[in-house]
């Protein structure tokens, strides 16, 4: 009898290369290694604001879809934390100070597109961001806090106050992925959309590096 691999395990396996590429993108690895600056960190927070505004708008659209709704939880909502972080990091006029980079605009367009018409695609984007935030994100937040002397202001995005046990939360999330009533074709489309989400994250790091080089020039 062939081994049967769960959809969540398959998704993780099929995206592990893309994860590694994203994780090791220069802009991100500089931030992690200590070569990135506080301004670099702020530039990333600003792009997150656009992405989560789209993602949480899409979640609101999708909350009545029977499959998508099982993944949506107020405990994950990041937009208010991002807004407090930007207020702290940039100041009260932060909205006038930030601008979406080209990849962010493409990323946001794609999230809004799937958010109006494709629950599986929405789940793909939801999974790529929130499960990442509940995994490496927790570590990134602690590292940025130590590096730039933040306590909670400035890294609120990485603090999930309503999720006491991220591992247990992720286990339930994976069970929900496994229980989603998707055909094999639909599962394949979801995997492809997760790979697209990873590519967009990697390209965003490339945009951030380019924008930094242009400012320095």
Site for ligand HEM, rule CB under 6 A:
11-12, 19, 22-23, 28, 32, 127-129, 131-132, 135-136, 139-140, 198, 201
Residue 18 makes CB contacts below 8 A (sequence gap 6+) with 194, 195, 198, 199, 202
Min dist CB 128 to ligand HEM, Å, is: 5
Min dist CB 91 to ligand HEM, Å, is: 27
Nearer to ligand HEM, 87 or 206 (CB): 206
Min dist CB 65 to ligand HEM, Å, is: 21
Q: What angle do CA 32, 46, 42 make, to 5 degrees?
A: 45
Q: What tokens were used for 140?
A: 């990134």
Nearer to ligand HEM, 47 or 201 (CB): 201
Burial class from Cβ neighbours inside 10 Å (0-12, 13-18, 19+) for residue 117 reads exposed
* Coil, strand or helix at 71: coil
**Which residue's C-beta sits nearest to ligand HEM?**
136
Nearer to ligand HEM, 150 or 198 (CB): 198
State CA 97 to chain mean position distance: 22
Min dist CB 180 to ligand HEM, Å, is: 14
Min dist CB 21 to ligand HEM, Å, is: 9
Number of helical H runs and strand E runs in the chain = 11, 0
Q: Output b/e per residue, 27-36; b: 16+ Cβ within 10 A.
A: bbebbbeeeb
Nearer to ligand HEM, 22 or 103 (CB): 22
Nearer to ligand HEM, 64 or 167 (CB): 167
Is the Cβ–Cβ distance between 138 and 161 less than 8 Å?
no
Is the Cβ–Cβ distance between 84 and 154 less than 8 Å?
no
Nearer to ligand HEM, 8 or 156 (CB): 8
Q: How many angstroms separate the CA atoms of 166 and 69, rounded?
A: 19
Min dist CB 105 to ligand HEM, Å, is: 17
């Amino acid at each position: 009898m062939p081994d049967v691999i769960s959809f969540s395990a398959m998704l993780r396996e099929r995206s592990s290369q893309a994860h590694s590429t994203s994780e090791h993108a220069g802009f991100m690895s500089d931030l992690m290694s200590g070569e990135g600056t506080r301004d670099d960190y702020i530039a990333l927070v600003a792009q997150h604001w656009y992405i989560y505004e789209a993602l949480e708008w899409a979640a609101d659209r999708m909350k009545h879809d029977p499959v998508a709704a099982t993944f949506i939880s107020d405990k994950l909502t990041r937009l208010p934390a991002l807004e407090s972080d930007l207020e702290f990091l940039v100041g009260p006029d932060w909205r006038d100070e930030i601008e979406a980079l080209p990849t962010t605009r493409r990323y946001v367009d794609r999230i809004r597109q799937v958010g109006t018409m494709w629950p599986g695609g929405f789940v793909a984007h939801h999974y790529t961001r929130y499960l990442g935030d509940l995994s490496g994100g927790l570590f990134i937040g602690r590292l940025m806090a130590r590096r730039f002397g933040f306590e909670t202001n400035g890294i609120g995005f990485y603090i999930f106050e309503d999720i006491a046990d991220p591992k247990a939360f992720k286990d339930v999330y994976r069970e929900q992925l496994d229980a989603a009533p998707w055909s094999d074709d639909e599962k394949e489309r979801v995997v492809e959309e997760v790979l697209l989400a990873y590519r967009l994250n990697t390209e965003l790091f490339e945009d951030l590096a380019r924008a930094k080089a242009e400012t320095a020039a």
